Amino acid sequence: MPTKIIFQPALTAEELRGFSRTVAEIEWLLLILVLLYQLAASPDEITSAALAMAMFFFSAFVLSFHYANFYRQENQWKLVIETLVMTVFITWVLLYTGGATSPLNDLYILVVIVSALTLGKLITLLQLVLIAGCYIWLGYPQRNLLLLPFGTALVAQITPMLLVAYITTMLSADIRRAYGHMKLLSETDELTGVLNMRAFGAVAERIFRQAERYARPFSVLMIDSDHLKSVNDTLGHEAGNRLLKLTVQCIQSQLRQTDVVARYGGDEFVVVLPETPSNGAVGVAERIRKSIESSPLTTRDKKVALTVSIGIAGYPNQGHDRGARRSRDVREQERRQEPYHALLRLIP
């Protein structure tokens, strides 16, 4: 059975782009530190030439990865490759500047930080094992590591990196949880928990582009509660809030995992049904209508019957682009003030 490498929870494209910029800055910092050492320490010709060659190839790598689009796709495997190349570069530098006792051996901490921030605990642990192997190769090529002095020296060198890895991983996880929570709050309706229109716009845009590219249908439902105003006026806003929550529960009970529901505003909700033509959307709308009618709102020992009006529009029947055009049927329906909304008005 093939071994599967497990990263930390998948990073979003935005997070990957941000981490990629940060890693590039760390790589340039690494180059600057080695260059400063070369200028300050004035090494011999062999060492100077080895460091110059290492910096040349490493800078070429950084330029190709981040500025020449040699590796176009941003993903976590790219970050793995970069940490491995950083490790090789540092090991080469240490080899010519004193081995495991080099004044630059703390440069490995930069690799550990990058790995802990972006790749999770398992990959970071593997990276530490690799670094320990590099230390052994650099400082103890023919020594017995089981002897106490040599084993203690190796542990003393690795322990600070282990602590940095642990603390950075924990901080990264906490930051990502906080970021995820803030993102959730910014993209969902506080009352009902479904998407708000800001998040819906991005999802609808993606669905539209996929439908346009692959010539696949999709439909949109506009659902309008018929009783919110009367419930608010007679039973209070708390009852009105319960009505909205109940409406969302009934809607979601009739949808697939791939369908998207959002609060359009007030008592209106919009649903996107990917891979669903208009005739299929009619069946979904009818199930939602029946579900809501069979779920009265219970409040103050009363049961309030609920109904909704549902408008349906489908791609490509009611429109072929996201412009301002609307079909003749939709314009006629709007003039009759029926609860139908043009598909092209729903997608920003």
Considering the domain architecture, whether residues 161 and 247 belong to the same structural domain is answered as no
Q: Please give the structure tokens belonging to residue 159.
A: 């322990």
The number of domains in the chain is: 2
Per residue in 283-317, pLDDT (tens digit) is 888 899 888 888 888 877 778 888 888 888 888 76
Q: Based on the fold, state whether residues 174 and 210 are members of the same structural domain.
A: no
| One domain for residues 32 and 106 | yes
Q: What number of other Cβ atoms are within 10 A of residue 137's Cβ?
A: 14
Same domain, 293 and 150: no
The answer as to whether 92 is a domain residue is yes
**How far, in Å, CA of 319 to CA of 340, rounded?**
14
CATH number at residue 234: 3.30.70.270
- Residues 157-168 pLDDT 10s: 777 777 777 777
- Do 165 and 239 belong together in one domain? no
For residue 114, give both structure tokens.
């990058």
What pLDDT band is residue 191 in, cutting at 50, 70 and 90? confident
Where do the H-state alpha helices sit in the chain? 13-41, 45-66, 76-95, 108-118, 120-139, 148-187, 197-214, 228-235, 237-252, 278-293, 328-335, 343-346
Residue 6 lies in a domain: no
pLDDT at 324: 34
* Residue keyed to tokens 């970071």: 124
**pTM across the whole model:** 0.53
267, 225 Cβ separation under 8 angstroms = yes
Within a domain: residue 8? no
Domain range for 95:
13-186
